[in-house]
Amino acid sequence: MEVKKSPKANLENKKMFYRELGLIIALGVILCAFEWSTSEKTESVIQQEEAAPVEVEQIPVTTEAPPPPPEAPKVPVLSDMIEVVDDDIVVDTDLFISLEDEADLGVEIMDYVAEVAEEVIEEAPIPYTLVEEKPSFNGGDANEFTKWVFQNMVYPDVARENGISGRVTLQFTIETDGSLTNIRVLRGVDPSLDQEAIRVVSMSPKWTPGKQRDKAVRVTYNFPIYFQLRN
């Protein structure tokens, strides 16, 4: 015989409902348990805090004594009494050397004299036109020196080939011993002619020096040399 159930009487349809209801009840119980435990813990902590007395540490007040003032320096006491003590020290006169016996010692005492280096003052040369007694060459005047220069002068080949000519003006100093120094070109024409003029003048024999107040002096002299080509 086949048994037939109505859909309302079938419990399978309510299975999910009862499962969800059980889960809800279980969650509610768990939440109540947590709330109950935390409330008990907070109450116990509050009771312990209320029961523990608070101790206040008392720090004793201490005062330091000030340091004692520094002692004043003691003033030495001077005595008005002077005690005279006999001098019993014997001086050995043999330890001293007498200057009277210097001849026996072989020592000659001389006065110190500072050596003073003689300062040589070089007088500035006087121009040829201003000197009282003019210097001379070989017993003659300046023309005698001009003749000597032209006798010893050699016309440079470079200047001759290029047709260079002109006047070279030299300046030199006639020293107190008659020698010529400080030979230089005041006005040149060409390097070859300038060098030849210096070479010839440098070979000059000694002059008779010029004089100022009967004293030999240094004299500067400007000397022109003419270089001229001949056809």
Q: How far apart are CA 167 and CA 98, in angstroms?
A: 83
Q: What is the pLDDT of residue 202?
A: 94
How many CB atoms are located within 10 Å of the residue 145 CB? 19
Q: What is the mean pLDDT of residues 211-226?
A: 92
Cα–Cα distance, 167 to 173 (Å, whole number)? 20
Instruction: Classify domain 126-227 by CATH architecture.
Output: 2-Layer Sandwich (3.30)
What is the rounded CA–CA span in Å between residue 43 and residue 145? 143
Burial class of residue 217, CB neighbours in 10 A (0-12, 13-18, 19+): buried
Beta strand 180-187 pairing with 216-217: unpaired
160: Cβ contacts below 8 Å, ≥ 6 apart: 229
Q: Full-prediction pTM beyond 0.75?
A: no
Q: Give the pLDDT score at 124.
A: 87
Cross-strand bridge partners of residue 170: 185, 223
Yes or no: say if 134 and 190 are a contact pair by the CB < 8 Å rule: no
pLDDT value at 227 more than 70: yes
For 36-48, the pLDDT digits (tens) are 655 555 555 445 5
**200 contacts 183 by C-beta, under 8 angstroms:** no
Q: Are 209 and 178 in contact (CB under 8 A)?
A: yes
Say whether pLDDT at 181 is over 70.
yes
What is the percent of the chain where pLDDT is above 90?
38
Written as six digits, the tokens of 95 are: 């330890």
Residue 199 tokens, joined? 């070479």
Using CA atoms, how far apart are residues 15 and 24, in angstroms rounded to an integer? Answer: 15
